[in-house]
Structure 1
Amino acid sequence: MTVAAGEVRVLLVDDQELVRAGLRLILREREGFVIAGECSDGDEVPAALEAAGGIDVVVMDLRMKRVDGIEATRRLRASGRRPPVLALTTFDDDELLAGVLRAGAVGYVLKDSPAEDLIRAVRAVAMGEAWLDPAVTGRVLRTYRAAAERPVLPSGLLTPLELDVLTAVARGMTDAEAAGALSVSAGAVEAHFARVREKLRLRDRAAAIVYAFDHGLVTPGGDSVPVAPDALQFSVLGPLRAWRGTRLLDLGPVRQQALLAALVLRPGTTVSAGELLDGVWGLEPPGTGGRVVPVYVHRLRKCLRSTGERTEDSVIGSDRGGYRFAGDRVRLDVTELTDRIAEASAAARGGDPAAAVDAYAGALSLFHGEPLAGLPGPFVEGERLRLTERRLSLVRDKASLQLQLGRTDDVVHELSALLAVHPHREPLAVLLMRALHRGGRRADALAVHRRTRERLRADLGVEPGTELVRELRVVLSSDQGPS
């Protein structure tokens, strides 16, 4: 099969066997991927490419012992080989990430990203698209550029529409999204972008994004709210992180972080030491018993306090009943998530599905991996499940509106990856079938039903539900398009 038909041949390049094993579990053959080769270092890439034959995507780690990902990518491009490189990196690899983009990688995926993001990234790169997060890319390029004066875009080189298309691409929009924003067809966006690449001599979409940031068409972090130098921010929609201004804070060991999460996610509520003990340690309390709770709280207060602030004036307060987190004194991503969901709901009720889709996309962009990734304890496990379910609900709501707008390709692109990670989610399968059917891909819609039914039977011993059966009948009732 070709890439267009769904099969993607992948070369994995990473010096850690555990990482490669994890990638193999995600990029499974039954989801349309073939791991055609593996390397443990960048100097092995040429031989692996020869042995594997055709490769659609090289997933390249950046930190390797002999030849790192930047040099391996540079050599690959210098040799004239065309398989696109998708860099595999961590959140704080700004300098390395900028280097591999300059060397010719067409995108990157963070190691703590959700599995469906990796699937979508590999598929996007295989189809000739870029996979870059504009917010992170902006930060990376700002770090990489040092103090050099920003180059100026030559006057009159691009038409106004070409400039708008380049800006839309740099903001991470697909052709369909750019078409909707610019009120032109997706074909027109594709044609204008081809002319932009030709005029600016850009090799691919990733190079266009880098060019737009370099020339000030998109400002690093320009769509975000300015952060005060001493503001305290928390992120739980991914690994737990906290910043004082722009400085990332060290939150200590994972149990201490889990205790912080148990307070942060109940702002303004007094939580007793016993509740914290049960929520963080469950049925396996520490040897020191409840004495560990005030110790962890004291450490967290010291960590979170601002310059000149007394430890007792920290955002973690206390009274006779226990401890209380002052949520009104911080910025919290789940609070922003709630606001964006309310904005999306209001737009949908107001009859503006396009604005609602944009708001839902903004809400989903707040997730940066599995919520509270890596933290232990019953409380965190419950919150992780709740936040994951909320994310899936947002995806469904967004996809339903995209179908109203006729954006079937966007729905297929996103839900194909998501269903591969959550194969028992029948509502996702229903929406994916509907999108494929409306896009004239009846056989692919039937294949989704077949795979979902087989997984439900094999894994759970149940038959598909009413909605999935009903969607199957709709697809079977017509040879061309929806009924």
Structure 2
Amino acid sequence: MPTTATIGRPLGAALGRQEREVLHSIGCGLRDDEIAAALGVPEDTVAGHVARILAALGLRDRSAAIVHAFDCGLVVPGRGPRTAGPAPGGGRVAGPKVRISALGPLRAWADGRPLKPGHPRQQAVLAALALSAGRAVSRRQLLDGVWGTEQPATNVVPVYVYRLRKALRVGDGPHALIEHGPYGYRLVPGAAEVDVARLERLAAEAGAAVRADDPAEAVRLCSQALDLFRGEPLAGLPGPLAELERVRLTELGISLGQRRAQSRLRLGRLAEATAELSALSVAHPLHEPVAAMLMGALSRGGRQADALAVFDRTRRRLADDLGVSPSRMLRGTYEMIRRGDEAGLGRTGNAS
């Protein structure tokens, strides 16, 4: 998870040219083997770059690196290695666009009318296509992403795609939402609006607002992005891809909440920021950066005892649920509050 000190941090000289390319590819959702093929280097070289990127930027895992790639403007939603050009023949869909929502249980609509994408495994296939940002997804990638180790005995992917085409057809024309080309399946470009793409676009714009020192605009954009969530992303969908995307999108939502709270603090709206961080801490009790930000906000409001209580509560949960001690960052926040080091707390809680 990114610490509050790394949210929105510029890359600067921390990364070399190839490491920036690797971070860009991670942000676009590529696996290590895909990055290795794109850069023409061994896969273990990519793994080494990933480890150095996480260490250099103070990030805990790959999900945090994806969020950071968007936050620092390295990745622009809808552009990058996973974005393909028009397929031969340039398929287009006549009639109204299909809207697909993955920021909660998977839902689809056409012209305000709800569509029925089928059972959870079939929905997971649609989610894989909707989250590919225009890139073709091969049958093997769908099998691995949706079925994982529970591979079906027969080639069911074309069957599921056929059913989805029927379920998602709009208007009376012959055009289908899903097309097939030499590299696999994808949603016809421009035929669908996916809420995740809008979320990522708003997150990138919010990051730009923070870098431009415009906290009011950052609050507005973060609010628009957070309003897109309807619960747990891809709730109930099976498969490794859905699980990874749940983690990534949940982390992005937390990051947006942190950014909005920090921007509210910049605007002097301490009560709103404290309430937001309190709710985030309840929803994500093991998230140490959120706990640290909440402790800092409570301390700024003269509630040092409550701030120290947050530390104790988080320490117990970390020990009970994960068997670990608080991180250096959280312990440092605790010590600064005990010493009354308000200047140090300001530096620790700065998400801009």
| Structure 2 equivalent of residue 306 of structure 1 | 170
Determine the C-alpha separation between the residues in 1 that align with 2:209 and 2:184. Answer: 41
Q: Does 1:241 align with 2:103?
A: no
Distance 1:449 1:435 in 2: 13
Tell whether the 8 Å contact from 1:442 to 1:479 is kept in structure 2 after alignment: no
Identify the residue that residue 246 of structure 2 maps to in structure 1. Answer: 384
In the alignment, which residue of structure 1 is the partner of 2:127? 261
Which of these residues, 414, 422, 428, is aligned with residue 290 of structure 2? 428
Question: CA offsets, 1:368-415, max 9 Å, x none?
Answer: 100011110111111111111111111112222222222222222222
Q: Is the 8 A contact 1:229 1:244 kept in 2?
A: no
User: What is the rounded CA distance, in whole Å, between the counterparts of 1:437 and 1:229 in structure 2?
Assistant: 56
For 2:180, which of 318, 323, 336 is the aligned residue? Answer: 318
Q: Counterparts of 1:319 and 1:350 in 2: how far apart (Å)?
A: 42
Partner Cα separation in structure 2 for residue 445 and residue 465 of structure 1:
16
Aligned to 1:455: 317
Per-residue deviation, 1:274? 2.0
From the superposition, tell whether residues 403 and 322 of structure 1 become closer, same or farther in structure 2 (CA, over 3 Å). same
Q: Which of 262, 269, 272 is matched with 2:138 structurally?
A: 272
List runs of 5+ in structure 1 lacking aligned partners: 1-227
- Coordinate RMSD, CA, aligned: 2.2
Aligned residues of 2:257 and 2:280 also touching (Cα < 8 A) = no
CA distance in 2, matches of 1:241, 1:480: 46
AA in 1 matched with 2:111: G
In the other structure, the counterpart of 1:410 is: 272
1:294 corresponds to 2:154: no
Alignment of 1:45-194 (within 5 A): none
SS at match of 2:224: helix
SS at match of 1:369: coil
**SS state of the match for residue 450, structure 1?**
helix
Q: 2:19 maps to what in 1?
A: none
Conserved 8 A contact 1:344-1:356: yes
1:75-120 Cα offsets, whole Å, 9 max, x none, are xxxxxxxxxxxxxxxxxxxxxxxxxxxxxxxxxxxxxxxxxxxxxx
State the alpha-carbon separation in 2 of the partners of residues 327 and 475 from structure 1.
52
Q: CA deviation at 1:231?
A: 2.5
Aligned to 1:393: 255
Q: CA deviation at 1:435?
A: 0.8
CA contact 1:305–1:315 (8 Å) conserved in 2 = yes
Query: 1:148 — aligned with what?
Result: none
Q: Distance in 2 between matches of 1:352 and 1:286?
A: 52
Q: Which moved more, 1:229-238 or 1:430-439?
A: 229-238
Cα deviations across residues 246-289 of structure 1 (Å, max 9, x unaligned)? 001011111110111111111322222222122111111234x2
Alignment of 1:348-367 (within 5 A): 348-367=210-229
Aligned-pair distance for 1:447?
0.3
- Whether the 8 Å CA contact 2:219–2:263 is kept in 1: the answer is yes
Residue 446 in structure 1 maps to residue 308 in structure 2? yes
* C-alpha deviation, 1:456, in angstroms: 1.7
Contact 1:267 1:327 in 2 (8 A): no
Residue 429 of structure 1 aligns to which amino acid in structure 2?
A
Q: Which structure carries more strand by proportion?
A: 1
Structure ID, larger Rg: 1
Residue 16 of structure 2: aligned partner: none
Alpha-carbon distance change, 393 to 440 in structure 1, aligned in 2, over 3 angstroms: same
Structure 2 unaligned regions, length at least 5: 1-93, 347-352
User: Which secondary structure does the structure 2 equivalent of 1:432 belong to?
Assistant: helix
- State the AA in 2 paired with 1:241: R
Counterpart AA for 2:227: S
- 1:336 and 2:202 are equivalent in the alignment: no
Instruction: Answer yes or no: is the 8 Å Cα contact 2:261–2:274 preserved in 1.
Output: no
Q: Quote the Cα distance in structure 2 between the aligned partners of 1:293 and 1:348.
A: 43
| CA-CA distance at 1:479 after TM superposition | 10
TM-score by length of 2: 0.67
Q: Report the Cα distance in structure 2 between the residues aligned to 1:280 and 1:245, rounded to whole angstroms.
A: 28
Residues 480, 259 of structure 1: CA spacing in aligned structure 2 closer, same or farther, 3 A cutoff?
Answer: closer
Q: Aligned AA for 1:455? A: R
Query: Partners of 1:478 and 1:350 in 2: how far apart?
Result: 31
**Match for 1:463: what amino acid?**
S
Equivalent in the alignment of 1:49: none
Specify the SS of the correspondent of 1:370.
Answer: coil
The aligned length equals 252
Shift of 1:327: 4.1
Please tell me whether the aligned partners of residues 116 and 168 of structure 2 are also in contact (alpha carbons under 8 angstroms): no
TM value normalised by structure 1? 0.50
% identical equivalent positions: 50
Match of 1:158 in 2: none
Alignment of 1:203-242 (within 5 A): 230-242=96-108
SS in 2 for 1:347: helix
Q: Is the 8 A contact 1:239 1:374 kept in 2?
A: yes
**Does 2:237 align with 1:375?**
yes
